Structure formats: C-alpha cells, structure tokens
Amino acid sequence: MRLGLGMRLKTPVIVLNEKAYVESAGKKGLELAKICEEVAVEHGVSIAICPQQLELAKIASLVKIPCFAQHVDAVEPGSQTGFVTLESIKEAGAVGSLVNHSEHRLKIADIDFIVTKAASLDLLTIVCTNNIAVSKAVAELKPYAVAVEPPELIGTGRAVSKVDPAIVANTVKEVKRVDEECVVLCGAGVTNGEDVRAAIELGADGVLLASGVVKAKDPKAALVDLVSGLG
C-alpha cells in the first residue's frame, strides 16, 4: 500500500520489524504480513510491517497495510550494486524505511541525507535511537518518527515501557520539544498488550517490535494481545 502525498500513519501504531529470522523468510514473511493485515482490519487499528528486504516489493503488492524497508542506504540511484535506494523503496510500493536500527547503525551525515531526501519523495522515515540524547539529536534532522530502543532490552521480553518508563517519557518530551510534529515510538522487549498500553500512557505514539510477534508460537494471538493495549 502506498500512502498519498503528505500522508502519515494513523497513530497509535504498531510497527512490526520482521528482521532476518527464519520465521519471517519467504512465505512465512508473507503470512506474517497477512496476519498483520487481518488484525488491522478486524480490530480497526493501525499496523505497519517491515518485511525482509528481498521480499519487500512482493509483499507490498499483496497486502494493504503500510510496508517499510528495514534499511535504506544513503546512496543515489546509479552504479551501485546491492544497495537500497529511497527511490527503489518507492518503486517497491513501500511507504518508507526504518533508519539506523541498532543492528544497522548509520553515520549521522547519512541519516541526514536519508531523512531529507525521503521527505522530498514523500517517504516516511522511522529513525531508531538508543537513548534520550541521540533521540534529541535525531529530532533536529526532522524525520517522520523517532523510535527509541535501549539496545540492552532488545529481544529480552522485558519491555522498555515497563522496565525503563523514564526513557520513554523523556524521549517523548524532548523530541516533541525539538519538533512537535515528530512521531515517537518506543521499542525493545515489547511483548504484550500491557507493554503497549504502558507505552501509550507514557506519551508514545506507538511501538516498534519484532521477536514478540515473529517468534511467538501463535503470532496472530500475540498480535491480538498487543493491539488490546492500543486504546
């Protein structure tokens, strides 16, 4: 699905990063995307998905929820082998990209390049950060969203919104102070509806998560539980 000019995600939103898990490769990745679509429709909530890179164009053509690339490179189209341009994300039918995920950090000048160029192409950037200071710094670059994720909690099942509520609340406060339009997500360890509710109550516009759904025995049940925290 492609959002129209100037459109934004409906918030609160759950953004599911499929990562490079075995459980999200090939057909399984499409199944996950279909589950997200079903739950979004059935529950009337906003869910976006980040398929594995090689599957992005395929999955974006088969589901109606917003799709994001997991990563984009700070390069112009041209003689570049194996790099992902913002233009190719648009052509693939996606609405934007995660940027600077803790597993795929970028140079600051490259984040600035990506955020600026994405805006000119009407693509959404969700820039991941590791703490409050970096969140503020990134907000100065005017991305669509900042997603704060303390690296030490990623994949632990111990939700940032429960274990470290101050980082969520203060990131929201500081980022909005720099740019009140900026969407703020939080992530790391988010597993269930309570974690989501806690995040929303702390002022976040949504959550970014991965293993809590991708590696769940029953991903749909896990997702239904998560959306219960949205409102």
The stretch among 1-9, 15-23, 39-47, 217-225 that binds its own copies (CB under 8 A) is 15-23
Number of chain positions touching its own copies (CB under 8 A)? 70
Query: Binding to its own copies by residue 170, rule CB under 8 A?
Result: no
Which residue number, 163 or 178, has a Cβ lying nearer to its own copies?
A: 178
The stretch among 63-71, 160-168, 199-207, 222-230 that binds its own copies (CB under 8 A) is 63-71
Query: Binding to its own copies by residue 31, rule CB under 8 A?
Result: no
Whole-angstrom Cα distance, residue 105 to residue 100?
4
Question: Which residue type is seen at 169?
Answer: A
Query: Binding to its own copies by residue 152, rule CB under 8 A?
Result: no
Query: Binding to its own copies by residue 158, rule CB under 8 A?
Result: no
Q: How far is the CB of 182 from its own copies (least distance, A)?
A: 13
Structure tokens at 49: 């998905």
Question: Rounded to the nearest 5 degrees, what angle is found at the Cα of 222, between the Cα atoms of 216 and 224?
Answer: 160
Strand order of the β-sheet with 124-129 is 46-50, 13-17, 206-209, 183-187, 145-148, 124-129, 96-99, 68-69
Query: Is 132 within 8 Å of 176 (Cβ atoms)?
Result: no
Q: How far is the CB of 162 from its own copies (least distance, A)?
A: 20
Residues assigned a catalytic role: 101, 149
Integer-rounded Cα Rg, in Å, for the chain is 16
Query: Binding to its own copies by residue 141, rule CB under 8 A?
Result: yes
Instruction: Build a one-symbol-per-residue string for 92-131: x at contacts with its own copies by CB under 8 A, - elsewhere.
Output: x-x---x-xxxxxxxxxxxxx---x------------xxx
Residues contacting 136, CB < 8 A, separation 6+: 174, 175, 178
Query: Is 36 within 8 Å of 16 (Cβ atoms)?
Result: yes
Interacting residues with its own copies (CB under 8 A): 17, 19-22, 25-27, 29, 50, 52-58, 61, 69-71, 75, 77-85, 87-92, 94, 98, 100-112, 116, 129-131, 133-134, 136-142, 154-155, 178, 210-211
